């Protein structure tokens, strides 16, 4: 049964996403069980085991090299336009796990320039504030400071710019138009921007003076940028970065977790706000208790269930039971929401504690070029 029309670009996610069709449309590959078996500890990894991170480019090549003793580095990023919500944190938590799994260095790019260019109403002061705010959440996720460097585009532009120029010289407006859907009224900064997002995929090679493989964990909506990056890499003498793509945590009102409104759980929300958002969440339930007891509900379309699945219920058998009890009508939405709340609140409390400590730790994580 074909799902309704959907749209996934780095700046817009609309409709109910068919993730299999996206693999086809973007030309990426599914992560096969065989490939999974070659990742150390994949079984214990919720995101891999459950197919939250489900698609890739050249991960096989990367793992072949890794087995031969060839280390790679990780690169991911965040467009700082607002506070951080749970949906943002999924790929960061996964990236931290990859850092441990492969003992890998990480560049974390804060694309404040992107957000300024693409969001009409944002000033550079806004993106600067959001950058600081978001960095606290990133650090709170637990990255290893000795192996993690946060790049802030406007702050560290000097280390990115010449790489970006070399990328930009090989990308025509035609290509940018086709990949990102730009038109005549797109501003010239937005048109150039993808070159800046490409740069960290090559920065380690530049700094080391020799090619270093790179793995980019990201939401699949970011793939278009890295398709461009990968296309130009050989001509610039670099490896193409490998990618591992995640699904997007659906918002509590359904759809991709939106950055605005009540649909998302922000790390800056109070317990009371979180409670209210969860208790008001859209679910896959029936209109009456009687009906639900009789016919059961639908966890497949339920964001409350997805919150368990994506992050908050690490125990597969418990998740399976929740799914079955929802289907059978044994579990009602109110009870299920309270159960989620009992998992979310301690998670958020711990994160808030780490976030507070992060305020003293920013300096440990900041990227330093040779010039600084």
The site for its own copies (CB under 8 A) is made up of 113, 116-117, 124, 154-155, 157-158, 161-162, 164-166, 168-174, 176-177, 182-192, 194-195
**57, 230 in Cβ contact below 8 A?**
yes
Beta bridge partners of 75: 107
CB of 237 to its own copies, least distance (A): 12
**187, 231 in Cβ contact below 8 A?**
no
Structure tokens at 329: 């009508």
CB of 11 to its own copies, least distance (A): 15
**80, 134 in Cβ contact below 8 A?**
yes
Sheet with 242-246, strands from edge to edge, namely 29-30, 53-57, 242-246, 214-219, 73-78, 106-110, 148-152
Which of 244, 310, 247 has its CA nearest to residue 29?
244
DSSP letters along 235-294, please?
HHT-PPPEEEEEPPPBPTTSSB--SSGGGS-BTT--HHHHHHHHHT---S--SSHHHHHH
- Distances in whole angstroms, Cα of residue 202 to Cα of each of 75, 261, 315: 10, 37, 38
* CB proximity list for 292: less than 8 A, separation 6 or greater: 285, 286, 329, 332, 333
- Distances in whole angstroms, Cα of residue 204 to Cα of each of 162, 200, 342: 14, 7, 42
Structure tokens at 246: 């995640």
Which of 266, 258, 301 has its CA nearest to residue 282?
301
Which of 226, 230, 161 has its CA nearest to residue 196?
161
Question: Which is closer to its own copies, CB of 172 or CB of 349?
Answer: 172
CB of 222 to its own copies, least distance (A): 18
DSSP for residue 13: E
**65, 118 in Cβ contact below 8 A?**
no
In the three-class reduction of DSSP (H, G, I as helix; E, B as strand; rest coil), residue 103 is classed as coil
């Amino acid at each position: 049964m074909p799902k309704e029309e959907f749209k996934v670009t780095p700046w817009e996610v609309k409709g109910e996403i068919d993730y299999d069709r996206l693999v086809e449309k973007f030309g990426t590959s599914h992560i096969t069980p065989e490939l999974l078996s070659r990742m150390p500890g994949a079984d214990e990894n919720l995101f891999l085991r459950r197919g939250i991170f489900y698609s890739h480019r050249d991960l096989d090549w990367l793992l072949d090299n890794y087995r031969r003793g060839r280390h790679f580095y990780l690169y991911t990023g965040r467009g700082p336009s607002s506070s951080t919500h749970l949906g943002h944190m999924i790929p960061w938590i996964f990236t931290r796990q990859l850092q441990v799994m492969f003992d890998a260095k990480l560049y974390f790019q804060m694309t404040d320039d992107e957000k300024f260019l693409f969001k009409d109403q944002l000033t550079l002061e806004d993106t600067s504030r959001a950058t600081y705010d978001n960095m606290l959440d990133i650090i709170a996720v637990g990255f290893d400071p000795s192996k993690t460097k946060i790049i802030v585009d406007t702050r560290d532009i000097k280390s990115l710019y010449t790489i970006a120029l070399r990328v930009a010289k090989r990308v025509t407006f035609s290509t940018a138009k086709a990949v990102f859907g730009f038109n005549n009224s797109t501003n010239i900064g937005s048109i150039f921007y993808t070159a800046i997002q490409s740069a960290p995929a090559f920065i380690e090679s530049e700094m080391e003076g020799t090619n270093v493989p790179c793995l980019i964990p990201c939401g699949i909506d970011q793939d278009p940028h890295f398709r461009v990056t990968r296309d130009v890499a050989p001509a610039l003498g670099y490896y193409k970065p490998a990618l591992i793509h995640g699904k997007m945590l659906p918002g509590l009102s359904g759809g991709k977790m939106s950055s605005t409104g009540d649909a998302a759980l922000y790390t800056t929300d109070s317990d009371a706000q979180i409670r209210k958002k969860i208790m008001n969440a859209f679910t896959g339930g029936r209109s009456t208790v009687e009906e639900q007891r009789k016919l059961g509900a639908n966890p497949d379309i339920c964001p409350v269930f997805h919150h368990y699945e994506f992050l908050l219920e690490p125990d597969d058998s418990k998740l399976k039971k929740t799914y079955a009890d929802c289907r059978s009508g044994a579990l009602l939405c109110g009870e299920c929401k309270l159960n989620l709340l009992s998992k979310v609140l301690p998670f958020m409390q711990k994160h808030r504690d780490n976030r507070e400590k992060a305020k003293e730790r920013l300096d440990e994580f900041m990227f330093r070029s040779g010039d600084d």
